[in-house]
Amino acid sequence: MSKGLIVITGASSGIGAATARLLSSHGHPLLLLARRIERLQALALPATLCRAVDVTDAGALAAAISEAEAQFGPVDAIVNNAGVMLLGEMSKQDPAEWQRMLDVNITGVLNGIHAVLAGMVARRHGTIINISSIAGRKTFPNHVAYCGTKFAVHAISENLREEVSASNVRVITIAPGAVETELLGHTSDAAIKSGYEDWKQEMGGVLAADDVARAIHYAYSAPQNVCIREIVLAATRQPA
């Protein structure tokens, strides 16, 4: 039996790229989406369609999924991984940074869900995996707007899970702690970035993207009648 198509957003680096490599190694055809298509193509994975798509563009996202389904069959799972983390003190932060996080971290997730959900409900089969954060469960200094977006991902995921459970569609939230990715590089405040790096060093390092990818695969690979609703993972020495 052939493996189902999996869509991964934000697949050009970090958790998205690691997840793409792992799921491809298990024989899944993939649709990889990111703005940097050359990074997607450099992964050189078999049975993979790469498209330059910004998740805030619902039309482009839906078109890419339709193209992939024509080639590989219906979407079995989507990993809504695209996200930005722009840390800052609320009194000083440029409101454009809040808006970018709202657009990508919330609207982008909703766009991904919307693009695949009707088909999954009709087939009574499918899995939606939303990448949130420990910052969607508790607050951290300089994370006000970012925490707001990740708390929203948790709420969206759990409410959606309740809504579609009777249709045999699974909704899974993955909430990592600090991960060694490009995410911190988005932050424009040098002092906050430096403090965050110091915090990572104090605890002897953080999760690798591959650690999160394995958690995603673990949750997805459970039988369809088993929904691992949420996985929270962090470096053992991460205190908060």
Q: Which residues are catalytic?
A: 146
Q: Alpha-carbon distance 30 to 46, whole Å?
A: 8
In sequence order, the β-bridge partners of residue 127 are: 77, 170
Strands annotated E in 53-184: 75-80, 126-131, 169-176
Are residues 19 and 78 in contact, defined by beta-carbon separation less than 8 angstroms?
Answer: no
CA angle 42, 80, 10 (to 5 degrees): 30
Cα three-residue angle 152-156-160, rounded to 5 degrees: 175
**Amino acid identity, residue 117?**
L
> From CA 62, how far away is CA 70, in angstroms rounded?
12
Q: Is 71 helix (H, G, I), strand (E, B) or coil?
A: helix
Number of helical (H) and strand (E) elements in the chain, helices listed first: 8, 7
Within 13 Å of residue 200, how many CA atoms lie on the same side as its CB?
Answer: 16
Q: Mark out the alpha helices in 124-239 (DSSP H runs).
A: 144-164, 190-202, 209-221
